[in-house]
């Protein structure tokens, strides 16, 4: 099953993005990597984030996968503040899609609504999965990005060696 993940960090972001990609590669094997983009924090005042999208293949159930992703976040020092979801973080790994079907896994609905709301998610997803169809809109990620209001958030590509 192909899944797409969104990675973001604004605490030592270059190191934390590299570490997360390395951890995911060790756990799941070959990855599909988007470019890395820098953009302002959304929803709070904070340092800029580095964001990217990662694709991987897994046979894990969505709940098992999310548990493993949470473990990566924990090992990288992620502090969760349930009172303030929008806060600085070492690494944030969100499961965006699980195959090509809608899915409810606990409190998380897939595909995540962040795909159509935030440039820092949609742009890198459209880069690596341009022709895949969003299961709820029926439009490809490339079409969604082409129609997206790009004035809402400025993203700048960042050269970051992830090998």
Residue whose C-alpha is closest to residue 33's, from 52, 15, 49: 52
CA distances from 29 to 12, 26, 120 (A): 25, 6, 25
Residue 152 has a pLDDT of: 87
Residue 101 has a pLDDT of: 84
What whole-number distance in Å separates Cα of residue 2 and Cα of residue 9?
A: 23
- Number of residues in the chain: 163
Residue 45 has a pLDDT of: 81
For residue 75, being part of any structural domain is answered with yes
Residue 141 has a pLDDT of: 98
Angle at Cα 42 formed by Cα 68 and Cα 25, nearest 5°?
25
For residue 61, being part of any structural domain is answered with yes
Tens-binned pLDDT, residue by residue, of the chain (163 aa): 999 999 999 999 999 999 999 999 999 999 999 999 999 998 888 899 999 999 999 999 999 999 999 999 999 988 876 655 667 889 999 999 999 989 887 788 999 999 999 999 999 999 999 999 999 999 999 999 999 999 989 999 999 999 8
First vs last Cα of the chain: how many Å apart?
23
* Owner of token pair 């969104």: 6
3-state helix, strand, coil in the chain (%, to 5): 30, 25, 45
Domain at 111, CATH number: 3.30.70.560
State which residues form the domain around 127.
Answer: 2-158
What is the number of structural domains in the chain?
1
For residue 163, being part of any structural domain is answered with no
Cα Rg of the chain (Å, integer):
15
Q: How crowded is residue 86: how many other Cβ atoms within 10 Å of its Cβ? A: 12
For residue 70, being part of any structural domain is answered with yes
Residue 104 has a pLDDT of: 86
């Amino acid at each position: 099953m192909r899944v797409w993940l969104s990675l973001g960090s604004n605490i030592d972001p270059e190191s934390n993005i590299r570490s997360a990609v390395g951890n995911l590669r060790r756990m799941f094997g070959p990855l599909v990597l988007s470019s890395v983009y820098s953009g302002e924090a959304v929803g709070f005042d904070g340092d800029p984030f580095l964001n990217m999208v990662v694709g991987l293949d897994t046979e894990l159930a969505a709940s098992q996968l999310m548990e493993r992703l949470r473990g990566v976040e924990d090992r990288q020092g992620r502090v969760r503040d349930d009172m303030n979801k929008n806060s600085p973080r070492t690494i944030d790994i969100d499961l965006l899609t699980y195959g090509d079907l809608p899915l409810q896994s606990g409190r998380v609905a897939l595909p995540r609504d962040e795909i159509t709301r935030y440039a820092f998610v949609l742009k890198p997803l459209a880069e690596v999965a341009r022709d895949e169809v969003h299961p709820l809109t029926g439009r490809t990620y490339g079409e969604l990005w082409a129609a997206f209001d790009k004035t809402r958030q400025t993203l700048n590509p960042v050269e970051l060696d992830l090998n």
